[in-house]
Structure 1
Amino acid sequence: MQIDLTGHLALVTGGSGQLGRVMCRTLAGCGADIAVHYHQNAASAEKVVAEARALGVRAVSVQGDITQQADVQAMRQQIEAELGSPDILVNNAVIQYDWTSVLTQPLADYEGQFRSSVLHNVLMAQVFVPAMIQHGWGRVIGINTECAMQNLPTQSAYVAGKRGMDGVLRVLAREVGEHQITVNQVAPGWMISEDKPDDAAADTYRAGVPLRRRGCDQDIANLVAYLASDLANFISGQYISVSGGNVMPTI
């Protein structure tokens, strides 16, 4: 059994970042053409594009602020002109900020998380899903977080945004399912990436994970590729934790 995404086009927001670039490589390795979104790091995006093309697929980079409707619409126009209409969306980009307590977290951070978690997913759906409806097939995959279940101190702005994202995507799954479009969420734990290797600072975290280790960026990309494929064509509306059991969604 293999994951074959030949003939599909994936758009990965934040595709030049730590998790995003591995998703792009993995999807390209499965045969999907790739649109690599970036906000500021053009050089990193072009490197990912080159890596995807080396795997034999078509790839372009596309710049934009995913919290602005005009930017997302411009992204669609560029991608359609160069590659066609994406039928796989991976909504991965998110605004970074300093975490502190509810009592001291700047209000701008809550607004930023709302825009990059909730409005990001709304805009991507409004701009790109209509073409999926016309084609009768599509995948929307939102990158959530284990934090949405942990609710630990200093996580409030992040959790607020990601829980809002969860609501939007669950409703979207019900609204577009009849068109054979699945909508799911991948929720990473504290992952190891190329830029952020494991270290002793994570000892306490690892001790609380049933597998007693941290996962890596490839673990996230593997699930994204699976959910993008026809192997997952009857899975929708799900929040799937990739955390080694650190958080366990319940029934």
Structure 2
Amino acid sequence: MIAIDLTNQTALVTGATGELGRVIARTLARSGADIIIHYYSNKEKANQLKQEIEQLGRKAFTIQADMSSLEAVLAMKSELIEAFRLPNIVVANAVSQYQWVSVLEQSTNDYVNQFNTTVLQIVHAAKAFVPHMIEQRGGRIIAINTECAMQNFPTQSAYVAGKRGMDGVCRVLAKEIGEHQITVNQVAPGWTISERDRQNNTEHSEEYERTVPLRRRGTDQEIANVVAFLASDLASFITGAYVPVSGGNVMPSI
């Protein structure tokens, strides 16, 4: 049987205290990886997740940083060197929330915010952690994108602008560091069912589900499964990919 085995791997999950981040962290841990739990403000949730991962038999380390700040990310790197270890898997999952309105109504600050927390998150993570991956002759960078980057619906402009910028950086980075056996890929979820949806009984939306060929919303676990695959040796010859996990709701064409 072919299995995803991340034994002896260390994964950094940014935004690990979020709805999707927690599931990604747990899934990578169940696959054998030790987990660096990055958080921005929710220290309590980070400590709770640490306990969960340790109960799975894996090592976990919590760390706070503003991923939009290079200084903060480099300080995070220094702390990891001193107190834990550097990752060879980086999952760029952190995201900033804001109100979605039309271009004419959207604050220009929202565009700057999305650029800082998507494009610069990848840039800063690369500057901090890719040198170690080069030394190790391998590594994985996995960015969480979105189906919205292909849909371009009204009120999505700031979000789409940031995620499309992320896409460009990831594709260029994949070409720049591929010779070192480091892969750079993107996972693009659709509108995903989270634990909050399950608690609030909001898993279904007939209007949205009608547009999806599989006629349902995907789950957070289904997204995390693809992240785990891309982090593993099973995906060793995949790089520069934008992988929709949206039930066919978006389909990149050739």
Matches within 5 A, 1:1-251: 1-197=2-198, 199=202, 202-251=205-254
Percent of aligned pairs with the same amino acid: 58
Instruction: Count how many residue pairs are aligned between Structure 1 and Structure 2.
Output: 251
Give the C-alpha shift of residue 83 in structure 1.
Answer: 2.4
Letter in 1 for 2:252: P
- TM-score, length-scaled by structure 1: 0.98
Stretches of structure 2 that go unaligned for 5 or more consecutive residues are none
Q: Helix, strand or coil: the match of 2:210? A: helix
Give the C-alpha shift of residue 75 in structure 1.
Answer: 1.2
Give the C-alpha shift of residue 200 in structure 1.
Answer: 7.6
Are the equivalent residues in 1 in contact too, given 2:14–2:94 (CA < 8 A)? yes
Letter in 2 for 1:158: Y
Are the equivalent residues in 2 in contact too, given 1:143–1:187 (CA < 8 A)? yes
Q: Helix, strand or coil: the match of 1:44? A: helix
Give the C-alpha shift of residue 164 in structure 1.
Answer: 0.3
Output one character per residue of 1:23-67: Cα deviation in whole Å (capped at 9) or x when no partner: 000000011010000000001111111111111111011001000
Are the equivalent residues in 2 in contact too, given 1:214–1:243 (CA < 8 A)? yes
Stretch moving more, 71-80 or 203-212: 71-80
Letter in 2 for 1:204: E
In structure 2, how many angstroms separate the alpha carbons of the residues matched to 1:71 and 1:92? 17
RMSD: 1.0
Are the equivalent residues in 2 in contact too, given 1:58–1:83 (CA < 8 A)? no
In structure 2, how many angstroms separate the alpha carbons of the residues matched to 1:201 and 1:173? 36
Q: Helix, strand or coil: the match of 2:62? A: strand
Are the equivalent residues in 1 in contact too, given 2:32–2:58 (CA < 8 A)? yes
Give the C-alpha shift of residue 79 in structure 1.
Answer: 1.9
Output one character per residue of 1:105-145: Cα deviation in whole Å (capped at 9) or x when no partner: 00000000000010111000011100000110100000000
Letter in 2 for 1:226: F
Stretches of structure 1 that go unaligned for 5 or more consecutive residues are none
Q: Helix, strand or coil: the match of 2:191? A: coil
